[in-house]
Amino acid sequence: MLQLPSANVRAPRPALPSRVGIEIADRGLAAVLAADLALTPGLALARAGEHADLLVTDRRDTPVGPRTLLIGDAAGRAGASALASRDPRLIVAAAMLMAAGYRLEADGPKLPAVPLAAPASALTARERQVAELLVEGASNKVIARRLDISVHTAKFHVGAVLEKLGAVNRSDAVAIALRDGLVAL
């Protein structure tokens, strides 16, 4: 039996946005951040004199605490989350993480380098045909039938397409091929 909540049950109140203060010497970057913060749900720009839940700064003389995001500093300082980048998109993303209670450290685990996708000219004509069939969801057996080649050769071509696109699997290859305009739907 389906039970509906009674009318006196209240929905949880939405959390107030975290107020973010900006103390950045580069006025252009500060202006871009202020505009991005204004458009980001869950974050709001703290006005002058208003308490800030989170401080984004590039100034080395600013006292740091657990709610400070130090940008442009690969080393960071004790008690501050650090972000070596000065890219506004990354700074806003880092501010969102910190507002959610996470701490960012500049010397985190090193991630493996992601290979860049090959330009369209790097795929041979046959590999482009295979990529088109991959987009259609074709198996190696179907690719072999449609191109009149052996299943072993089809498998070889699929492997070459994955390698040249820097894909980890067939789905990734399809996404890269569509994103980079290597095949059309």
DSSP-derived letter for residue 57 is E
Taking only the tens place, the pLDDT of each residue in 116-129 is: 444 545 788 899 99
CA R_g for the chain = 25
* Contact (CB, 8 A) for 147 and 101: no
Q: What is the predicted pLDDT for the residue at 13?
A: 46
Give the C-alpha separation, 172 to 178, whole Å.
10
Domains of the chain listed by start with CATH number? 18-99 (no CATH), 120-179 (1.10.10.10)
Give the dihedral of Cα atoms 60, 66, 70, 74; nearest 10 deg. Answer: 100
Residue 79 has pLDDT above 70, yes or no: no
- The label of the residue with tokens 């202020």 reads 34
Taking only the tens place, the pLDDT of each residue in 84-112 is: 777 888 888 888 888 887 777 655 555 45
Q: What is the predicted pLDDT for the residue at 182?
A: 82
Global pTM reads 0.48
Confidence of residue 73 (pLDDT cuts 50, 70, 90): low
* Contact (CB, 8 A) for 95 and 69: yes
Give the C-alpha separation, 48 to 82, whole Å.
23
